[in-house]
């Protein structure tokens, strides 16, 4: 197999990450690959995006907006899975152990569903 150009390998890695939901990325990955753009006319409002994901946040800086949204998305996926059902029959995947390590307080809050759940296959 031929060697892959480092630039191509880097692009492939970034494209793969762009397909993952924010709650499947570590905070460091989300900070690196997410974008927060200021909303014109509102100095505390940010448009936060990653791949096809788009939302808004109120924060003092772009980094604070990214941090806020990442935590919200991780917590939201845990909330949906703790209920065990959704209106449409779809549950988001669970955050990985690496993602949960960024939020020790969420590991405590959702300990009941995380017991065994963090070891599910990658697609869950």
Q: Which residue has the higher pLDDT, 14 or 60?
A: 60
Encode pLDDT of 87-98 as tens digits.
666 778 899 999
Residue 18's φ and ψ, nearest 5 degrees, are -70, -15
Listing DSSP states for 34-82 in one string gives -EEEEETTEEEEEEEEETTEEEEEE-SSHHHHHHHHHHHHHHHHHHHHH
Global confidence as pTM: 0.77
pLDDT for residue 109:
93
């Amino acid at each position: 197999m031929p060697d892959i150009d480092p630039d191509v390998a880097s692009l492939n890695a970034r494209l793969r990450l762009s397909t993952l939901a924010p709650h499947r990325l570590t905070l460091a990955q989300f900070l690196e690959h997410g974008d927060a753009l200021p909303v014109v006319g509102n100095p505390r409002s940010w448009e936060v995006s990653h791949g096809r994901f788009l939302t808004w946040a109120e924060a003092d800086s772009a980094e604070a907006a990214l941090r806020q949204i990442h935590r919200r998305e991780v917590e939201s996926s845990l909330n949906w899975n703790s209920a065990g059902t959704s209106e449409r029959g779809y549950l988001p995947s669970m955050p990985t152990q690496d993602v949960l390590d960024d939020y020790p307080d969420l590991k405590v809050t959702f300990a009941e569903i995380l017991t065994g759940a963090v070891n599910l296959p990658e697609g869950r």
